Amino acid sequence: MIHIPRRTKLLFSTLSIAAAIAVAPAFAQVSYTAMPLDSGFGKLDTSAPSVPAQQIIDNFTAKESEFRAAMGNYTYERSVKVETIDDDGKVDGQYYQVTDITFDPTGRRYEKVVFAPENSLQRISMSPADFQDIEQRLPFVLTKEDASQYNLTYVGKQRVDEVDTYVFDVKPKVMEKNKRYFQGRIWVDQKDLQIVVTNGKNVPDNTREGHEDLSPPFTTYREQIDGKYWFPVYTRGEGILHFSGGDGYLSQDVHIRETLKYSHYKQFGSTVKITFDGQEIGQGSGSQQPAQQQPAKPQ
């Protein structure tokens, strides 16, 4: 896990630190400073939905299962930037890496780093656990298989930019030892029944003095790709994590800013020619189509 060299340490989530004021109270036991979501979110309509909330949950978690399987068949580029900010608002350390998620000729999925300038982070350092978060815990996908682990509470309907959504609060029912869960709020497209915005954090945190492992809240935005699935395109955050110190560690506040971007989605597949009596009669290939819809997100 990420730690701070020279007597302080932390677990730094690969997701953003931004958090909606609406969900911030749920994380009062965690020491951090949160920021509100950006504009583009309309007024929350708390009236009952036209169909039972459980029916919406059953339908969108089934769609999320489809999405998870579909994403495994796409190539894309992922950039990760983690910055620490000093008291004057200037960047005093940065980790930046651009990675292609692709397939080899045998169809095996792998990651290839295409750009990685020297890491200048000094007040924090990233660990294998943090890279695992980047690869596996971003974004939060709530599949039908995982839904039984959570309490989902219908909050209302809300317009996110040009997308009409259902809003749910999500909280783990029971937290088993050595397992991580999501807690926060999700926005589900009313038409496609897929998550379009996720805002919350990974839980639980280790708040034991001198051994604090804290993961800040995150906000992830998705965009519709190939006219069917909503894929992550942007994760952002900025906030201050507060560490109490103890056991030979120094207490300190660390201002962190993070930006993750996903781009160049393309379905993995080979071009196939179909012929009959020597004449080509059809062709199919896996290819990228222009994104058709996207919720509001910061630039």
What tens digit of pLDDT does each residue of 194-215 get? 999 999 888 887 677 766 666 7
The backbone torsions φ and ψ at residue 129, rounded to the nearest 5 degrees and listed phi first, read: -65, -35
pLDDT of residue 178: 80
17 or 83, greater pLDDT: 83
Q: Average pLDDT for residues 144-168, to the nearest whole number?
A: 96
pLDDT of residue 263: 96
What tens digit of pLDDT does each residue of 236-268 get? 877 777 777 666 666 778 888 888 999 999 998
pLDDT at 113 over 90: yes
The β-bridge partners of 76 are 101
Q: Average pLDDT for residues 134-139, to the nearest whole number?
A: 75
- Rounded to the nearest integer, the mean pLDDT of the chain is 78
The answer to whether the peptide bond before residue 204 is cis (omega within 30 degrees of 0) is yes
Contact between residue 112 and residue 100 where contact means Cβ atoms under 8 Å apart: yes
pLDDT at 6 over 90: no
Fold of 24-284: outer membrane lipoprotein receptor (LolB), chain A (2.50.20)
pLDDT of residue 28: 32
What tens digit of pLDDT does each residue of 19-70 get? 333 333 333 333 344 445 656 899 999 999 999 999 999 999 999 999 999 9
pLDDT of residue 19: 33
pLDDT of residue 21: 30
C-alpha to C-alpha distance for 167 and 157, rounded to whole angstroms: 6
Considering Cα of 260, then 120, then 100, then 111, what sign does the dihedral take? negative
Q: In the chain, helix, strand, coil percent, each to 5?
A: 10, 45, 45
pLDDT of residue 3: 43
**7 CB-near residues (< 8 Å, 6+ apart):** 248, 249, 250
**132 CB-near residues (< 8 Å, 6+ apart):** none
**180 CB-near residues (< 8 Å, 6+ apart):** 137, 202, 203, 204
pLDDT at 102 over 70: yes
Domain regions of the chain by residue span: 24-284
Tracing tokens 């959570």 back to the chain, one arrives at 150
The answer to whether the peptide bond before residue 139 is cis (omega within 30 degrees of 0) is yes
45 or 284, greater pLDDT: 45
Q: Average pLDDT for residues 92-109, to the nearest whole number?
A: 93
Contact between residue 10 and residue 30 where contact means Cβ atoms under 8 Å apart: no
pLDDT of residue 298: 56
Regarding pTM above 0.85, the answer is no
Residue 285: pLDDT band with limits 50, 70, 90: very low
